[in-house]
Chains A and B, each alone.
Chain A
Amino acid sequence: MTILKTTTLQSDPVERQAVPDPTPMKASDMVRFRQVNKRFGETVVLRDLDLDVAPAEKVAVIGPSGSGKTTILRLLMTLEQPDSGTIEVDGEHLWHKANKRGELIPADEKHLRTMRTHLGMVFQHFNLFPHMSVLRNIIEPLVRVRGMSREEAATRGRTLLDMVGLAEKECAYPGRLSGGQQQRVAIARALAMEPKVMLFDEVTSALDPELVGEVLSVLRELAQQTDMTMIFVTHEMRFAREVADRVVMFDQGQIVEQGPPCEIFKDPTSPRTRAFLKAVLEH
């Protein structure tokens, strides 16, 4: 079974100089999709996707339901495997590694674990650990994964809880919190691991309308303060306009159009974008 298409790198240095790489890696790319394909059974979800994200860039991914937005994030978070193509994070292959002869071979669990240190994700349904208190949700991965001492982890956890406005909830179990509070804890938990790239998958769409604001304002502040690379899949157009450096409009597994928010929202070139924005904004 060949889930991963194995691409051969030029192993001969002379040859490598002779044949220039058709798509040279910009030293600055933090995330780079190249010709990525993904299907579930008969459903083609991503078609030959190329997507670059610069360091510290804030990208908002918009598009109709089922267009493959979540799948992009899941491929990056190593929750789903691409059928073909390559994904690079901070200049390193995510799903592949080079063997001794310089060929790309499917990555093993060890390589994936190294790569995951660069990535963090916040989920639509929070996915807090319900059997751990709020503070322990943050401490546990720091201690187990990062090998931090409990005291140090607790200090960092409290700082982050304070930042998301939940300092007084550290002892509560997630089940006792509102959705908006749970999502803020989930954001703090992901931030604590200090990833280079943070992925946000419709983090407000499971919330009651009156709780959306508190989560978005935390994210807005965060986006302004950090130089973390961030990819937001979102249906909140106002948020996307305020926070994103670039908006990527997605449909049927392909990028329909992309550009600065002012362009995309004010003057979209693609009729599909126009139709989508019209439908969303009328809502």
Chain B
Amino acid sequence: MDAVLNGLPHLFRGAQVTVEITILAAILGAAMAFPMGVLRLSKRRLVRTLAGAYVEFFRGTSALVQLFWLFFVLPLAGIKLDPMTAGVLALGLNIGAYGAEVVRGAVQSVPHGQVEAAIALNMTEMQRMRRVVIPQALVAMLPPLGNLAIELLKLTSLVSLITLHDITFNAQTLRESVGHTTEIFAAVLLMYFVLASAISVGMRALERRVGRWREAPLDRSRAALRQLADTMGGVPA
């Protein structure tokens, strides 16, 4: 048991790497997902096709293979990326493709009357998107984007295969040196779970902030009803 406890700092150092890659890849992913999701709805066919090609390519080939391409194949063409860059690029581009689909769906879910009202007020295409559509779409896209962020966290374990010392990699080395496979992987499981929970909590706080305007009277009365049901001893809501 001591051996496992002594090994914990090693796992924590791995967790730092995992968190770092998750954050950087999430930033890259968001930077891809927003424009690509919106451009997939462009009036211009070429733009639509290019954005679609990005999405289909990165969704249709596995994240692991993409990672190996960046890390093992590109050097053959003289392009050498350090493992961190390769990991962030592969995972960010991959998750960005899924994110683009979420963004596209959320943008399409905003009623067309909103755009028409914006046209009637003579807003430019850009203003309609930025001021009217995106703020409303954001509420619809945050929950699925939260799911993707958790997907991304779990995907990061792949980088252990390109020499990065993340949680999974360090768990392997620890196990090789001290054994205690069960305890070590129980600790690893717990670490991923805690990190995923942190993402959940963060996303839910964000949802509440962004969706404040949505608390219409109806929602409030429904919440009050649920509270009442709780105090009366758990009538299913």
Interface residues of A (CB under 8 A from B): 77-79, 109, 113, 116-117, 119-121, 123, 125, 127-132, 140-141, 144-145, 173, 175-176, 186, 189-190, 193
Q: Compute how far the CA of A119 lies from the CA of B119 in the bound complex, rounded to whole angstroms.
A: 10
Residues 110-141 of B, flagged 1 when their CB comes within 8 A of A and 0 if not, give 01011011011111110100011001100100
- The contact size tier of chain B is 20 to 34
B217→A125 contact, CB < 8 A: no
CB nearest to B132 among chain A residues: A129
User: Which residue of A79, A125, A130, A144 is within 8 Å of B119 (Cβ)?
Assistant: A79
B216→A176 contact, CB < 8 A: yes
- Among B120, B125, B127, B131, the most chain A Cβ lie within 10 Å of the Cβ of B120
Specify which chain B residues have a CB less than 8 angstroms from the CB of A141 in the assembled complex.
121-123
Decide yes or no whether B204 CB sits under 8 A from chain A.
no
A173→B213 contact, CB < 8 A: yes
User: Between A and B, how many residue pairs show CB distances below 8 Å?
Assistant: 68
Specify which chain B residues have a CB less than 8 angstroms from the CB of A120 in the assembled complex.
120-121
Interface residues of B (CB under 8 A from A): 111, 113-114, 116-117, 119-125, 127, 131-132, 135-136, 139, 213-217
Specify which chain A residues have a CB less than 8 angstroms from the CB of B114 in the assembled complex.
127, 129
A78→B119 contact, CB < 8 A: yes
Q: Compute how far the CA of A140 lies from the CA of B132 in the bound complex, rounded to whole angstroms.
A: 10
User: A130-B214, A175-B214 known; A119 and B135 CB under 8 Å?
Assistant: no
User: A127-B117, A175-B217 known; A113 and B136 CB under 8 Å?
Assistant: no
Q: Report the minimal beta-carbon distance from A191 to chain B, rounded to whole angstroms.
A: 11
Q: Report the minimal beta-carbon distance from B117 to chain A, rounded to whole angstroms.
A: 4
* Inter-chain pairs besides A79-B116, A145-B127, 18 sampled, C-beta below 8 Å: A77-B116, A109-B125, A113-B122, A116-B119, A120-B121, A121-B120, A123-B117, A123-B120, A127-B114, A128-B117, A130-B136, A131-B135, A140-B131, A141-B121, A145-B121, A173-B213, A176-B217, A190-B121
B122→A190 contact, CB < 8 A: no
CB nearest to A80 among chain B residues: B116
B214→A116 contact, CB < 8 A: no
CB nearest to A118 among chain B residues: B122
Q: Report the minimal beta-carbon distance from B214 to chain A, rounded to whole angstroms.
A: 7
Q: Compute how far the CA of A123 lies from the CA of B114 in the bound complex, rounded to whole angstroms.
A: 11
Q: Compute how far the CA of A82 lies from the CA of B94 in the bound complex, rounded to whole angstroms.
A: 43
Q: Compute how far the CA of A125 lies from the CA of B117 in the bound complex, rounded to whole angstroms.
A: 10
Q: Report the minimal beta-carbon distance from B118 to chain A, rounded to whole angstroms.
A: 8
Q: Compute how far the CA of A128 lies from the CA of B113 in the bound complex, rounded to whole angstroms.
A: 9
Q: Compute how far the CA of A141 lies from the CA of B139 in the bound complex, rounded to whole angstroms.
A: 22
A77→B119 contact, CB < 8 A: yes
